[in-house]
Chains A and B, each alone.
Chain A
Amino acid sequence: MYAALWRILPGPLWVRILIVVVLVVAVLYALAFWVFPWIDDLTAPTQDVTVDQ
């Protein structure tokens, strides 16, 4: 899968490496600011620190 993605990338080696770095940074950013907060909301315990009222 990743080998196929690597082969699809155009240009000489350094261009490919640049593209990969940009893609990885973009994915990490999306994870940290959108995906993980969303998962956190879904999975967070609802009553861990409070006494039930």
Chain B
Amino acid sequence: MSEPSAPHDAVPEQLPMRPRRRKRSPVSKAIGVFGELLITAGVLVLLFLGWQFSLNGIMLNNQQASEAGSLSQNWAAESPTAAPVPSASAGAEPAGTFLYGEPPAGGSEPGTGDDFAVMYVPRFGSDFKKTIAEGVDPKTVLNNGGAGHYVTTQMPGQVGNFAIAAHRDGWGSPFLKINELQLGDPIYVETQDGWYTYTYRSSEYVTPYGVGVIDAVPQVPDATAADRIITLTSCNPLYIASERIIAYGVLTDWTPRSAGAPAAIAGLVGA
């Protein structure tokens, strides 16, 4: 610590107010740099976590809202404006028919990764709207903050099972509130043809290998489908994902594009 004492009459080399810069050994310097690198690494990790759980979600949600809005606008611009003709036979036929008749069988299969539908679930948030793209690949589809469609399952409105997946904890967390769905909650799926109104029926928890949930008749392999089901899959428990949470709904209504969006989501569509 103490430096060799200077001769009594020596003039100090530096002003007394200025802190003296002692010569540091290379080892001390290296340790200092190493410490600063460790601190930097820690800050980077915290920044990454903040980005992952907050900033990225916000950016993805904004992106989803604008993509979903422009999809709806494009469909609205492309569709003919002929007045809808409510089916005269509604009510006269057995259960399974709707005010506007049978929903269209669904157009051509979308290409992998293409957005082909928009979903609205008021229970998930009053402004909840997400795109649905073809395929469930995490990197190309699900990590964009929307939902993905299991390619082997049916399309919206078709008899069978329209099965989709989305994240619940991160990447915008679209299905964060999948466990809060209540009996009768509507799940709207908009395509070029119009709006399919599914009604939430029940939930189920399965292992990551529970492929039965996306069968045409869930959990009944090789059965002939008669109902039009929607299946939502996501991870459970939050942040652990050792199980899958499944939510089922059934098609209860459909509205052709020419009739306008269902009242509950009219303010969201195309906005």
> Is A32 part of the contact surface with B, judged by Cβ < 8 Å?
yes
Q: In the bound complex, do residue B244 and residue A49 qualify as a contact, i.e. CB atoms below 8 Å apart?
A: yes
B87 → A minimal CB distance (Å): 36
Q: In the bound complex, do residue B48 and residue A51 qualify as a contact, i.e. CB atoms below 8 Å apart?
A: no
Q: For the complex, what is the distance from the CA of A47 to the CA of B241, rounded to whole Å?
A: 9
> Is B196 part of the contact surface with A, judged by Cβ < 8 Å?
no
Cβ-defined partner of A49 (8 Å) among B47, B152, B234:
B234
Would A1 and B37 be within 8 Å (CB), given that A44-B138, A51-B210, A51-B244 are in contact? yes
Q: In the bound complex, do residue A1 and residue B213 qualify as a contact, i.e. CB atoms below 8 Å apart?
A: no
Q: In the bound complex, do residue B142 and residue A49 qualify as a contact, i.e. CB atoms below 8 Å apart?
A: yes
Q: In the bound complex, do residue B32 and residue A51 qualify as a contact, i.e. CB atoms below 8 Å apart?
A: no
Q: In the bound complex, do residue A31 and residue B51 qualify as a contact, i.e. CB atoms below 8 Å apart?
A: yes
B78 → A minimal CB distance (Å): 31
B13 → A minimal CB distance (Å): 20
Cβ-defined partner of B208 (8 Å) among A28, A32, A39, A51:
A51
Residues of chain B within 8 A (CB-CB) of A49 are: 136, 138, 142, 165-168, 175, 233-235, 241, 244
Cβ-defined partner of B152 (8 Å) among A31, A36, A53:
A53
A32 → B minimal CB distance (Å): 6
> Is B159 part of the contact surface with A, judged by Cβ < 8 Å?
no
B206 → A minimal CB distance (Å): 7
Q: Which residue of the partner chain A has the closest CB to B153?
A: A53
Residues of chain A within 8 A (CB-CB) of B148 are: 50
> Is B143 part of the contact surface with A, judged by Cβ < 8 Å?
yes
Q: In the bound complex, do residue A46 and residue B214 qualify as a contact, i.e. CB atoms below 8 Å apart?
A: no
Would A36 and B56 be within 8 Å (CB), given that A44-B139, A49-B175 are in contact? yes
Interface residues of B in 151-170 (CB under 8 A from A): 152, 165-168
> Is B211 part of the contact surface with A, judged by Cβ < 8 Å?
yes
Interface residues of B in 139-153 (CB under 8 A from A): 139, 142-143, 148, 150, 152
- Which of B33, B48, B209 has the most chain A CB within a 10 Å cutoff? B48
> Is B226 part of the contact surface with A, judged by Cβ < 8 Å?
no
> Is B52 part of the contact surface with A, judged by Cβ < 8 Å?
yes
Q: Which residue of the partner chain A has the closest CB to B244?
A: A51
A–B pairs, 19, beta carbons within 8 Å = A1-B37, A2-B36, A31-B44, A40-B52, A41-B139, A44-B143, A45-B241, A47-B138, A48-B235, A49-B166, A49-B168, A49-B175, A49-B233, A49-B241, A49-B244, A50-B233, A51-B208, A52-B208, A53-B214
16 extra interchain contacts, Cβ-Cβ under 8 A, other than A36-B47, A40-B143, A47-B138?
A: A1-B36, A1-B37, A2-B36, A31-B48, A40-B56, A41-B139, A45-B138, A46-B138, A48-B167, A48-B235, A49-B166, A49-B234, A51-B208, A51-B214, A52-B209, A53-B211
